[in-house]
Amino acid sequence: MRVLVVAQLLGACGLAAGGTAGALLAELFTGSPATAGLPLAMLVLGSGVGAVAVTRVMSGHGRRAGLAAAYLAGAVGAGQVVVAAAFRSWPLLLAGCGLLGGGNTAVMLARYAAADVASRRGRAISAVVAAASVGAIAGPNLLGPAGALAGVVGLPAPTGLFLLAIPAFLGAALVLVVFLRPDPLQVARAAAPSTQQPAVAGGMRELACLLGDRHIRLALLVLAVANLAMVGVMAVAPVHLHHYGAGMGTIGLLISVHIAAMYLPSPVTGWLADTLGAGVVAGIGALLLLAAGAVAAVAGAGRPGIIVALLLLGVGWNAGLIGGSALLHDAAVSSSLRTRAEGLGELGMGAAAAVGGSGAGLLLATGGLALLGLVAAAPCLLVLVAAFRPTFTAYTRLHKHPLQTSGTNPERHKLPAPTNPLGSQQPSPDRGDARQHTAVERRVHAAPPGSPCPLPHPGPTQPG
């Protein structure tokens, strides 16, 4: 765990370049605030696409190789952005930000490496996410000093953070390669129970197997919507603040406050995920993101309103990330499929954030922060519906039937209750259970009043 924490400190510091300096470079190159969200959109899109490749490397070679490769890609991307700044190349800047997403991939996937070797998944995930807060908060505050360094070598001031990102990512990769032993994924596979669902070969069959699990479907929705809302607002927040007179130091400080809200609540949300259930935490995150959009819509040029919106946005994203990650990691699939599910989750986050980041500048230029806040928060309603909707099964209908209140023995009709995916980490009943419940219900309806209505035999008893 300590090795992952050190790597997180370095990697998160490097990521501050894409989140803060990228938007300022975009406006400097193009002269239009409508393009300010594109660098961050490319970063998160590159992170999502890279996550699919990195999780495949992890599946075959372990967490250490995948995370180190992702950090190396991030270092190459930061170097490419520096070259783009030297030649004032807009396409090269976007391409470099896409590769910089490799660093984001490593920082985000490290939470699953921590969960591999922990019994309390929510708290393990939150510990690694919280570790990233130190580098993530310190990074934007280096915007001023790093800008002075960039000026010495004749580069635009925002390029300074990219200069610092190169050694930060290289250092994180080196720490993982040398010290992350034994590999967490190999340890998790050795400890996995033999009753776990076997791996499924084939792309479409694998995808169908993953999407057949309700935990995974809900987790993918939560992670994507949380990133869409957060990136949609944060991508252009520096430009909005700059237009209303904020200097580089002030912008860096406010973004640091937002990033602190993204990471520092992790111990609390991790504990809540282990105590109340991951789905409940995900729903809380959606409520906070909705509140952030509403506050942003009425904030206007006032800095207090913008600060409150950024705080709510950060805490809501944190709850969505912790809740969605815990749901994803505890899905009842094999360890090989789990790494693919993690990559699918990161891809969904990247795609959603790319949509939010690329459209944020246009929305800001068209309707200001008010329109942007409302549009970014609206999809959170989907998460609330999915997370808190009642789960009506054949079990529920059977036990509401009036026949059960007659003189028959209720113990004869008693079935094991399905677990609630929101308040528990256990999987819901599968389709076979649902068919059996439906068959029971038909027998109940067909039986004459007062008859004992024996249940259909469930089949041979499974050993163990």
pLDDT score recorded for residue 456: 42
The CA distance from 17 to 84, in Å, is 14
pLDDT score recorded for residue 19: 64
pLDDT score recorded for residue 180: 92
Please provide the average confidence, as pLDDT, over all residues in the chain. 78
Q: What is the DSSP string of 232-292?
A: HHHTTHHHHHHHTT--HHHHHHHHHHHHHHHHTTHHHHHHHHHHT-HHHHHHHHHHHHHHH
Structure tokens at 36: 């300010």
The CA distance from 213 to 427, in Å, is 8
Q: Where residue 70 falls among pLDDT bands split at 50, 70, 90?
A: very high
Q: Which amino acid is at 14?
A: G
Residue among 276, 296, 295, 274 at smallest CA distance from 284 = 276
pLDDT tens, position by position, 211-231: 777 878 889 999 999 989 988
How would you class 75 by CB atoms within 10 Å of its CB: exposed for 0-12, middle for 13-18, buried for 19 or more?
buried
Residue among 134, 314, 347, 167 at smallest CA distance from 226 = 314
* Distances 37 to 78, 93, 116, 183, 443 between C-alpha atoms, Å: 17, 13, 34, 37, 59
User: Are 274 and 123 a contacting pair, CB within 8 Å?
Assistant: yes
Contacts of residue 1, Cβ cutoff 8 Å, sequence gap at least 6: 114, 117, 124, 127, 128
User: Are 130 and 264 a contacting pair, CB within 8 Å?
Assistant: yes
Lowest pLDDT segment from 306-315, 377-386, 451-460:
451-460
Q: Which amino acid is at 381?
A: L
The radius of gyration of the chain from alpha carbons, rounded to an integer in Å, stands at 24
Residues 86-124: b if buried by 16+ CB within 10 A, e if exposed:
eeebeebbbbbbbbbbbbbbbbbbbbbbbbbbbebbbbb
Mean pLDDT of 265-289: 91
pLDDT tens, position by position, 414-457: 444 444 444 444 444 444 444 444 444 444 444 444 444 444 44
Asked if the model's pLDDT at residue 404 lies above 50, the reply is no
CATH 1.20.1250.20 fits 2-186+205-388, yes or no: yes
pLDDT score recorded for residue 67: 95
Structure tokens at 117: 């070797």
pLDDT tens, position by position, 82-121: 999 999 999 999 999 999 989 989 998 988 888 887 777 7
Cis previous bond, 39, omega within 30: no
pLDDT score recorded for residue 203: 62
Structure tokens at 301: 């040029």
Asked if the model's pLDDT at residue 344 lies above 70, the reply is yes
Asked if the model's pLDDT at residue 182 lies above 80, the reply is yes
